Structure formats: C-alpha cells, structure tokens
Structure 1
Amino acid sequence: MWGDEMLTKKNREIIEQVELVSIDSLVPQDHLLRAVEESIDFNFIYDEVKDLYSENTGRPSIDPVVLIKLLMLQALYGIRSMRQTIREVEVNVAYRWFLGYGLQEKIPHFSTFGKNYERRFKESDLFEKIFERVLMEAIECGFVKTDAVFIDATHIKASANKNKYIEKVAKQRTQKYKEELLKEINAEREANGKKPFEEEDDDDDNNKGENSSKKVRVSTTDPESGMFQKGEKERCFAYTASVACDRNNFVLGVKIAPGNVHDSQVFSDLFQEVNDKFSKIEAVVVDAGYKTPGICREIIEAGALPVMPYKRPMTKDGYFKKREYVYDEYYDCYICPNNQILEYSTTNRAGYREYRSNPQICCKCPMRLQCTKSKNYTKIITRHIWEHYIEIAEDIRHTQWGKELYKMRGQTIERVFADAKEKHGMRYTNLRGLRKVGHYLTLLFACMNLKKLALWKKRRGTFPPTVPALHSFFLKIFFAFNKKPLLGYAS
C-alpha cells in the first residue's frame, strides 16, 4: 500500500555545504567523454598548430587543445552554437573534466574560438589532420573494413534566407574525364570518316557543351551556398556533404560543395581521395544518381565493382522503352520492336553515338506512334561510347551478391546521415562560407568516428564481426568480357 510510506522533505541547506571533492570523482566511470579521452592522445594537436603560434613573444594563449575540444563537444552532442556550448560547459561537470577545467575556473568566452579560427585555423588543414588522425587510429585497431565503400550525399540547410538572392549567370562545372572523353570521341569520328571536334573554349559565351552557362540564384546572405530543391522538399539555400563510409560506418572521406552542385559532380574528387588511401576497395555502392557512364568507368578502371540500383527510364508514357530496342554489337546497330534496323549515324560532342531509322520504312510502320512523332519519320537512339561500363553495373545489379550489398546502404551510409542529423545537429548550420562549413563538418564526422572508436575500444574484447573479402569470382566474371583490359584485371 502506498500509505505505508512516510512523507519526507529534502533539506536544501546541503547545497550550501562545502565539500572536499575532485572533479574527476564527479564524472561517472562509464561516461562517454571518459572513453573518448582514453581512446586517443590529443597531444598531437600541439604539433599541428605549433607553427601558428609565436614561440617567445606575446601573451599566453588559450590552450589550442581546449579550443578544439570545445568544438568537439558541440559536434558530439549536437549543440546548436558555440555560445550555447559555453553555457553547457559552465554547468556540466563532465564537460569541464573533458576540457581540464576546475569547478570554479572561468571558461573562455564564446567568441574566443571564432577569433582564433579567423586568425590561425582558417587557412590551415588542422581539421583534415584531426579527421585523418582519428581514422588512422581506427584503422590500426582493425575496425575499418574497406572491401566495400558506400558513397552518398546529403544537404545541410545554410544560414541564409531563401527569399534574399540575386540572379547571376554562372558556368557549369566541367567533368574531370572531359579530355579523355573528347579524345575517344574524335578517334571514333575519324575512324568513321567524320571531322573531329575542337576543344571547347571555357570563355566562349556560345558554348553549348558541358561548360555551358546557366542562370542561378545567389544568396546575398551566404553567396557560397547554393539553391537546393529536390522532389517535394522545400526550396532553400544549402550545402551538400558527399561522404564515403565503410561497412562498419566509419567515415572514410568528406567533400563539401554548394547545394546546387549535383552529387555526381563531386564523386570523382571523393572517390579519388578514398581510393588513394585504401588500395583494396573491391566494391563501390552508390544510388541511382551516380549511375552515369563516366562514374561507372572511373570505378571499374580503378579495379572495383560498381554496385548500383535500377534507374527508371525517362521515356514518356505510351512510347517504347529504350530496353525494347535491341543492340547488336557485331553489326553496331539497333533493332526496333518491329524488327527494323537503326544504323549508326554519328557520334555527338556529348559522347553519344546516334542510330537512325529509315524514314521510308518508318512512315508506313503500324507501331510508329509508339516509337516517334518526328515530322521526318525518323527514330533516333543514342548509346554512349562508355555504355559497356553501364552494362557491367547492370550485370552486377542482377546478382544476389549485388542485391545484398546494395541493401546494406540502409545500415551504413544512410545510418551515418541519420545519426549526423538527429544526434549531432547536422540538419542546418549557422556558419557561413564554404571553407568554414567544410571545416566544421569535417570535424563533426571526425567526432562520429571518434565516438565509435571510443566505444569499441572500451569493449576491447568485442571486435566488429569479420566479413569475408568479396570473391574474385565476380571480378573475373564481369571483367572477362569487357572490351578494354582493366587495371589489374587484364585477361
């Protein structure tokens, strides 16, 4: 019975009682920050910043490790600003312990980090070095498994009013493989007796190729952000974070871009950075937005397998899908659903071969309205000169191994983004400028790696489950019939 207990009142006079305690005794032994502090030696930061400080002159500075740890606390616990972080540190014993501050020691002003960032850290690579140091520690512990790499991008809402902008004409970004593509295009055109294309002039206003200009909205608040709109999502100025992770959710690389830059345009920089770090990548798992001939070629030429989903064709309703036109590789032609031939015509500047039907046959075809409504009764099918790389990705997509690996995106890269937004405050940023946002997000993902590293180190006896390397059987199957020998996999 509840009535058996006697009513008791707490004596609040004890809060004025002076006690002799150490701040270390007030932090629970199982606190996350204890595990973080034990997982890595933060003294390496002193070596990275020693050239940014004067040796013998000037007044004593705030400890640079304290400044970085303040930013880490903000990222680890998703605190919305440095001002709020300082307020939390003032009342949180564990935060003071992590910084090395006593109970009555004055915490630095919230503007201290901003001033030090502008004067010292802004032009340095300190945040990238911290990210690399944490990742290297995870690698040395055997926690990172890079046989499969998962790459995707997400947007971060910028600190900019979506209604305050000006319109400008801007050049579109050039794909990195443009020169290689043009060389192959011209070789094919010359082989077919056609005039080769000249290199495009980036400054030519009449240029209609990959470098063509377009009108964009530029924020007057944060000009380095970009207008982002995807599907039914709200239009806003944002930044895009392209991230690569392994199957254990350790972030391997980060690239930040304006929100109006397509994910596939950042892929090359990110993939090259990760591929340079880890030489044994066997599969790269991406979504349909990355399913382009250039990206498939880049992955395969690097000796890895592209794992990609089905990409819905953009054909209008009521028309034959492109898959219903059969490509004959031997005769280099297409066969339409009415068993008529579409012969090779030319190769355009974008790298697509054009196959045209015979208008004299098409004008009498009973299926013409399902094929084309062209006034000259000509159906044109295009095929990229790197289309065979897409076909390799399609073959992989239909394997059970490919299906299972693609399903892992939900528990790997998508989980990384979910945790970053829900637990670490990455839904929006109150920082402005691509470099500043990039530095903070790099540190944020470093903190996510550090958190996982700390917890796994704490459970030292429980290592992540071992995963067998991808079978070389798949490499042999999908590379054996490729026309061009791949690096390291020539038949």
Structure 2
Amino acid sequence: MLAQQQKIQLSSYSRLYDLVIPKDNLLRKISELIDFTFIYDELLDKYCSNNGRMAESPVRMFKYLLLKTIYTISDVDVVERSQYDMSFKYFLDMAPEDEVINPSSLTKFRKLRLKDADLLNLLISKTVSIAIEKDIIKSKSIIVDATHSLSRSNPHSALEVLRERSKLLRKAVYHIDEEMKGRMPKKNDSDDLEKELAYCKELEKCIESDQTLSLIPAVKEKLNLLKETVEDTQEDYILSKDKDAKTGHKSADSKFFGYKTHLAMTEERIITAAVVTSGEKGDGPELPMLLELSRDNGIQVDTIIGDSAYSGKENLNLKGKDDQNIKIVAKLNPAITQGFRKEEDKFDYNKDADMFVCPAGHMAIKKARQGKKNRGKNQALVYYFDVEKCKTCSLKDNCYKTGAKTKTYSITIKSDQHSQQMAFQETDYYKEKTKHRYKIEAKNSELKNVHGYHRAISYGIENMQMQGALAIFTVNLKRIIKLTS
C-alpha cells in the first residue's frame, strides 16, 4: 500500500535544518531546484493502492539511490550516513528524529519498483526541461561520444578490483594510524583469485579487530565497499556471467568486457540523450537515435560534433526539422565514409582500432590497400579476419565459406563522393565547432571518476541503464546548479 508522504512531518526539531545546513550545500540546492514528485507519478502503478503494509515513499527511496550515486558509497553506508548526517535527512524529507530504512530495502526497490521503468529517458528529459526553463541552453549543437563501462563480472579484472578496493582501505587506515602497517596480513602476490579473496577476508578481520579504527567513517566506508565486493565476487565470478555484456575494443591492442553508453550533450554541457548498448556496438549507428531523443527532449539541433566514427555516409545525410541537412562536424575517414560497401549494416567500424568488427564481435587482424591511384578504377581497403575463429563461429552461415583460407571485408574508396564534406572541413565554422568536442571527454571523465560509472554495479543491460540514469541525472543537476549560480 502506498500513500504520498512527500513533506517533512511536523517536528519540534525541524528548525535544526536551517541552523546546520548551509545555503550553498549541494543537497539543499538540488532540493530547491527540482520537485521530485514526478518519481511518485511515474512509479504509482508499481504499488498496490489498497492492500498490504504502508510502503516507504518511492520518492524517498529514489533519493537514497541518488545519494549513493552522488557520493559513490554502498547501500549500507548511505543508510548509515542518513542516521547522523543532517543534510542527508533534509534531502530525504525526514524529520531529524525519524528512523532510516533497512539497506536491503534498496535492493528490493531497484528490482521490484524500478524494473521496466524507462528511467534513463525520464531523468534526462526532466533535467533538460529544467535547463530549458532556466534558459541555460543557447546553442543548437550537440556533441556526441561513447564511453565504456566494465561489466561487474569482467573476467579480466575481478582480481584487480579486489586489489584496488583493498588498497584504498589500507590507505585510509594508514592515514589515521601508520603503526597498523606492522599488523596487516601479508599481501597476495599471485594472480590466484581465491588467494586474493582469502587475503581480503584477513584484511577485513584485522581492521575490524580494532573497534575504534573500524568505526571511523573514512575507514568504515572503504571497509564496507571491500566487503560488498568480496561477497559479490564469491557469489558470481564462477556461477554467473553478465549475459548482456560483450567484448568491445578501445584500441587495436586494448579490449574490455562490458557496455557502451552513447551520449549527446549540448555545448553548455547538459546531457540531452543517452543510449546504453553492449560493448561491441559501433558508435556511428547510434547517432540517429541520439538526435531523435535530443529533439524529443526539446533541443533544437542544426549541428552535430563528434569524432570520425560519426562521419558515416548515413549520418552525413541526416535531416533537420526543416528538411535541411544537419552539419556534421566530424573528420572524414575513408574507411567508412567514402563509397559503397557490402553488408554495411552488419560490420561496424571501430575508430580507436581503425578496424572493422564482424557481427560476432571479432575484430579484423590486419588491413591492406588494393589498386593504384589514377588508373581508372577505385582503390579498396581490404580487412582480414582470423579464419580460425570463422571456422567455429556460430554465425558463419552466409558469412564464411567452408574451406576458405581467408575471410575478408572490402571497402571501396571513392573520395569524390564526399567533396562537399571535405570542403566543409576547411571552413571557419567547422574549425570553431570542433573546438567544443573536448567537453564531452571531460563529462565522460566526471561520470567515471566521480560517480563510479567506470564499472557496472549490477548485472544486465537494464541495471546498466538504471545506473546510467542516476549518474547522468546527477551530473546534469550539478551542471544546472553551477550555471544558475
């Protein structure tokens, strides 16, 4: 059963908030900026209206999750801080003496209430509407890029994650008591994950044995994060694998297992659209959707700024609302923009590796140019794939001919078809607009390094979308607050 309980209940202690929470406190500013009742309206049908116990307000539960994202802390720590941190209680619309929830309620809320909700588009749309209302967005350009997030069960770095969390915990401890160095268990120097888990458990016991030290917030938060990681690794690294995550490529020699989030952002650094895909997907094919979502959110677009991955032939022909071509400020790359290529909807170009990726997610191992210039025939770029992988590939039908010694994919180079874009690249407008592209790199860095978006905190693309929704919602609110200040 759900009753709308959005306001702080009358309490003789409520005046404390005015005394202890500064006017420039981030949580106070967010509360003043946005009315969170839209969350209640969105999730109303997820609750029974006339049966069962009184449910915790969905707005308050959502705010708990938002606090987790803003401060990058665990479920346990966000609830514990809400017991004594007055700014947290104020943000949660609680009276100072109110009791907090059980941390397990957050897991249930994510799984039962937020499941199937289009939270990503909902939260982005809400922040964009606030930015438009505040007259923040002046430009008619969007900057596009994709950022990758490792899967929670990334097979290449589970051990590295444990080591990083234990390192942060030790660092927090030494900052308070350097004498603890002599009491710490011996670190695991092998690449054996079981031994690393055993070491982390010993480290937990060692620090918990000092009850004074383990209760210091800076240490306790790092300790709880390590515990959470150990428990999740024990439960999932053997029996479970993220079925939605895929292997993508950051460069010819670097790959990752996880997801990609394709972003569109205004020159004022307000994110206007996002699409979450598995890691192997190309960047360019997502541009039309990013444009459509940005428009649906009220953004006028006449220019798109991106890297060479977005300069494909299909993207160069994107139309505006007035049926005029949208200007694409993205450097031409002959590998994907010039001329006709077969099965172009199946093979994706990876700009970082400068190679094509087949429908099964395998990257070409080399390329070669065929034909000579000025001989009356077009040259071609030929990409070669590992034929041994093709032989056992589940998608080899209609792709690999049994017995063939090579598997190639060819691109015809016809530079004359893009003379207009080549001329556009020389204009002052193009050169001025391309200077704004760095802004989205900085935004990606903020999402990853400040709000934990470098790694998925749960399994499945739906949970990745939920994580993205909260992270993007947070950075947009912070940006709006900064610009309106």
**Do both share a fold (TM > 0.5)?**
yes
1:48 corresponding residue in structure 2: 42
Q: Of 106, 118, 124, which residue of structure 2 is paired with 1:131? A: 124
Q: Of 77, 86, 95, which residue of structure 1 is paired with 2:79? A: 86
Q: Of 234, 239, 243, which residue of structure 1 is paired with 2:259? A: 239
* Aligned counterparts of 1:344 and 1:437: Cα–Cα separation in 2: 44
1:293 corresponding residue in structure 2: 313
* Aligned counterparts of 2:99 and 2:482: Cα–Cα separation in 1: 30
2:112 aligned with 1:119 = yes
* Aligned counterparts of 2:449 and 2:119: Cα–Cα separation in 1: 26
Instruction: Name the SS for the 1:119 alignment partner.
Output: helix
- After TM superposition, give the deviation of residue 153 of structure 1 in Å: 0.3
* Aligned counterparts of 1:238 and 1:93: Cα–Cα separation in 2: 37
The answer to whether the Cα contact below 8 Å between 1:307 and 1:393 also exists between their aligned partners in 2 is no
Q: Of 414, 433, 456, which residue of structure 2 is paired with 1:405? A: 433
2:290 aligned with 1:262 = no
**Could you say if the C-alpha distance between residues 126 and 152 of structure 1 is closer, same or farther in structure 2, counting changes exceeding 3 Å?**
closer
The answer to whether the Cα contact below 8 Å between 2:140 and 2:299 also exists between their aligned partners in 1 is no
1:185 corresponding residue in structure 2: none
- After TM superposition, give the deviation of residue 234 of structure 1 in Å: 4.9
Instruction: Name the SS for the 2:284 alignment partner.
Output: helix
1:392 corresponding residue in structure 2: 420
- After TM superposition, give the deviation of residue 137 of structure 1 in Å: 1.3
- After TM superposition, give the deviation of residue 155 of structure 1 in Å: 0.2
Q: Of 41, 50, 58, which residue of structure 1 is paired with 2:52? A: 58
2:328 corresponding residue in structure 1: 306
The answer to whether the Cα contact below 8 Å between 1:241 and 1:257 also exists between their aligned partners in 2 is yes
The answer to whether the Cα contact below 8 Å between 1:24 and 1:97 also exists between their aligned partners in 2 is no
- After TM superposition, give the deviation of residue 413 of structure 1 in Å: 1.2
* Aligned counterparts of 1:447 and 1:164: Cα–Cα separation in 2: 27
1:251 corresponding residue in structure 2: 271
Bigger radius of gyration among the two? 1
Q: What is the TM-score normalised by the length of structure 1?
A: 0.61
**Could you say if the C-alpha distance between residues 276 and 62 of structure 1 is closer, same or farther in structure 2, counting changes exceeding 3 Å?**
closer
2:27 corresponding residue in structure 1: 33
The answer to whether the Cα contact below 8 Å between 1:35 and 1:455 also exists between their aligned partners in 2 is no
- After TM superposition, give the deviation of residue 67 of structure 1 in Å: 0.8
1:159 corresponding residue in structure 2: 152
2:89 aligned with 1:96 = yes
- After TM superposition, give the deviation of residue 254 of structure 1 in Å: 0.6
**Could you say if the C-alpha distance between residues 387 and 259 of structure 1 is closer, same or farther in structure 2, counting changes exceeding 3 Å?**
farther
Identical amino acids, percent of aligned pairs: 22
The answer to whether the Cα contact below 8 Å between 2:83 and 2:89 also exists between their aligned partners in 1 is yes
Q: CA RMSD in A?
A: 3.4
**CA offsets, 1:404-457, max 9 Å, x none?**
2111111x2112112112222211122111011102202211121112223333
**Could you say if the C-alpha distance between residues 62 and 233 of structure 1 is closer, same or farther in structure 2, counting changes exceeding 3 Å?**
farther
Paired amino acid for 2:325: G
**Could you say if the C-alpha distance between residues 312 and 81 of structure 1 is closer, same or farther in structure 2, counting changes exceeding 3 Å?**
farther
Q: Of 454, 461, 485, which residue of structure 2 is paired with 1:427? A: 454
Paired amino acid for 1:290: Y
**Could you say if the C-alpha distance between residues 231 and 130 of structure 1 is closer, same or farther in structure 2, counting changes exceeding 3 Å?**
closer
- After TM superposition, give the deviation of residue 124 of structure 1 in Å: 2.1
The answer to whether the Cα contact below 8 Å between 2:272 and 2:293 also exists between their aligned partners in 1 is no
In the TM superposition, what are the counterparts of 1:151-190 in structure 2 within 5 Å?
151-162=144-155
* Aligned counterparts of 2:51 and 2:298: Cα–Cα separation in 1: 43
- After TM superposition, give the deviation of residue 26 of structure 1 in Å: 1.4
* Aligned counterparts of 2:370 and 2:66: Cα–Cα separation in 1: 52
Instruction: Name the SS for the 1:106 alignment partner.
Output: coil
* Aligned counterparts of 2:468 and 2:64: Cα–Cα separation in 1: 15
- After TM superposition, give the deviation of residue 109 of structure 1 in Å: 1.6
In structure 2, list runs of 5 or more residues that go unmatched.
1-12, 159-238, 336-353, 356-367, 380-409
Q: What is the TM-score normalised by the length of structure 2?
A: 0.62
Instruction: Name the SS for the 2:269 alignment partner.
Output: coil
The answer to whether the Cα contact below 8 Å between 1:147 and 1:280 also exists between their aligned partners in 2 is yes
2:136 aligned with 1:143 = yes
1:225 corresponding residue in structure 2: 245
* Aligned counterparts of 1:42 and 1:55: Cα–Cα separation in 2: 20
The answer to whether the Cα contact below 8 Å between 1:287 and 1:309 also exists between their aligned partners in 2 is yes
In the TM superposition, what are the counterparts of 1:455-466 in structure 2 within 5 Å?
455-457=482-484, 459=485
- After TM superposition, give the deviation of residue 87 of structure 1 in Å: 3.0
Q: Of 373, 376, 381, which residue of structure 2 is paired with 1:342? A: 376
Instruction: Name the SS for the 1:54 alignment partner.
Output: coil
- After TM superposition, give the deviation of residue 75 of structure 1 in Å: 1.8
Instruction: Name the SS for the 1:231 alignment partner.
Output: coil
- After TM superposition, give the deviation of residue 232 of structure 1 in Å: 6.8
Which stretch of the first structure deviates more once superposed, 224-233 or 436-445?
224-233
The answer to whether the Cα contact below 8 Å between 1:307 and 1:405 also exists between their aligned partners in 2 is yes
1:414 corresponding residue in structure 2: 441
The answer to whether the Cα contact below 8 Å between 2:124 and 2:469 also exists between their aligned partners in 1 is yes
1:475 corresponding residue in structure 2: none
**Larger helix percent:** 2
**CA offsets, 1:277-316, max 9 Å, x none?**
446311101101222212222357663101012548779x
**Could you say if the C-alpha distance between residues 307 and 262 of structure 1 is closer, same or farther in structure 2, counting changes exceeding 3 Å?**
same
* Aligned counterparts of 2:299 and 2:69: Cα–Cα separation in 1: 30
